[in-house]
A and B are shown apart, each in its own frame.
Chain A
């Protein structure tokens, strides 16, 4: 860890528009492996800020450092080849196959054929487009979403530590966008690139960003984690921009883990039914979660179940679908609770072991802060 990308009082004045600072003394630091979403109203300078990083737009004053190096000291071509670049309209080269598109920078860097081929296949695998099927196709033979994924793959071709993405999912319908966002976050969890991600959609900014950088008229209004931006908006502009449903947005952002109630009332399914009855009377719990010897969820019992004949818990337990993994969002959790009219939700870890429960009361407490 450490700072990977920093803006130091960067200012941009376009020639011919001398009275406007398209970017006005912008400063922020981005840690290695973080996604920073640049967001703000149209014309606020998001694209300008981003394109100064690879010098597509020359800055007027200030400094940009990548991994401590002033980008002005680097050769433009070398600088750009070290930064992944993905734009809204993708810009795949129509005259080249998917494989050639991805291979273009590795080729220019003089990689040998074998290494290039291997890299292209790995990348296609990462973006979930099987190489055998896609490598020899042309861009026009792909759907918009698939082209976008190729755009991302091409941007990552030489495994650059820093990537710039200008509204990469802007041209994609909402359902596929959500899907691509999730997929991209999964990829990012593995690859840990430092990414500047431009979007005009605050929901996307909050979802994708480790840091959100909100701009207005070229000025930084707030630079903070999404959670912080939602709970502590710097001023009315931020409050308005993130919207009146700030609280609900936080539900989307927070995982169930943050509101989990530990020490759930569990009973081993090999226990005697009577034991379960005793536990319920003693603890006053209306439900007991039943687990196997590994602690994995198998079902639940309530007072109705206790009336059934059966020697062991296993014989009297009921099936349940009232569970979610702890990595789900609070929004999903709440939605599950409401739609099935549950008293609580059972929370599981990766291996389906019961680790706690989720109550609406706890969610309220979290949101109140």
Chain B
């Protein structure tokens, strides 16, 4: 037990701690801390905008991605699911900046503005939904056919099989998709600034433009810490939503 705890401690927490210490040192060294304290009100506004971007696009991506992924596993769609998956795969290979640019370029054709928080949200969502769809589909498909057959043979309804068997057993893979797509969103969110979506990207790009490491880090460091924090939250969430019977690291 103790040794187990120590291994986890050294494998997971020590590297994270080292990274945080280094980042915070840079933060202080280049005067980012000072800059932030001087512009505290703006800092909070940017954080707020940034969180809005991440949380809303994330929530939408999870809701839509899981739903779509599950629907694609249903018998009726057996024929077209592989086609949708192919599209999803191609879509996922478009780089972040490309997605932002696409939103900027295409939304006006649909009669919407290409500038502002809404196009930014749409772009982030579109970018993040792919891994979730893909993993949900793959996860549900991979539930053993024996398990499904015995559930059916025992007299469980389609709905019970979906919610009590298929989704819970696909959860580790679904969560993998959620974590991937969160990483993408957190990493892409600063780019939203480029199309007027706000957020910490403002300081990052300003810093770059002015060749001012302080301003740049004042935006970049909170983004990095946010990424770590969100990943940690998701790891916690995974422990809760994935049954102990199928958690991967049980015997690692």
Contacts and interface: CB of A to CB of B under 8 A. Distances in A.
Interface in B118-156: 144, 146-156
Nearest to A89: B146
A333 B155 CA distance: 45
A95 B243 contact: yes
A90 B245 contact: no
Nearest to B157: A77
A161 B164 CA distance: 26
Contacts of A77: 155, 157
Contacts of A86: 150
A104 interface: yes
A87 B144 CA distance: 13
A56 interface: yes
A105 B165 CA distance: 13
B31 interface: no
Contacts, number: 81
A140 interface: yes
Contact of A54 (B144, B148, B153, B164): B153
A83, A93, A138: most-surrounded residue (chain B CB, <10 A): A93
A91 interface: yes
B160 interface: yes
Contacts of B153: 51, 54, 56, 80, 83, 85, 87, 164
Interface string A142-166: 0000000001001100000000100
Which DSSP category, helix, strand, loop or mixed, fits chain B's interface?
helix
A91 B149 contact: yes
A56 B154 contact: no
A85 B148 CA distance: 12
Contacts of A94: 147, 169, 243, 245-246
Interface string B57-94: 00000000000000000000000000000000000000
A85 B156 CA distance: 12
Nearest to B150: A91
Given A87-B146, A91-B150, A94-B147, A138 B155 contact: no
Interface residues of B, number: 23
B168 interface: yes
Nearest to A109: B155
Contacts of A155: 154
A244 B202 CA distance: 87
Nearest to A154: B154
Contacts of A108: 155-156, 160
Contacts of A140: 245-246
A138 B245 CA distance: 5
Given A81-B155, A104-B154, A108-B156, A95 B149 contact: no
B154 to A, nearest CB: 5
Contacts of B246: 94-95, 138, 140
Interface string B151-175: 1111111001000110011010000
B147 A85 contact: no
A155 B149 CA distance: 13
A91 B146 contact: yes
Contacts of B165: 93, 95
A139 interface: yes
A131 interface: no
B212 to A, nearest CB: 52
10 A-B pairs with the lowest CB-CB distances in the bound complex, closest first: A91-B150, A80-B155, A138-B245, A81-B155, A85-B153, A95-B243, A89-B146, A91-B146, A95-B168, A91-B147
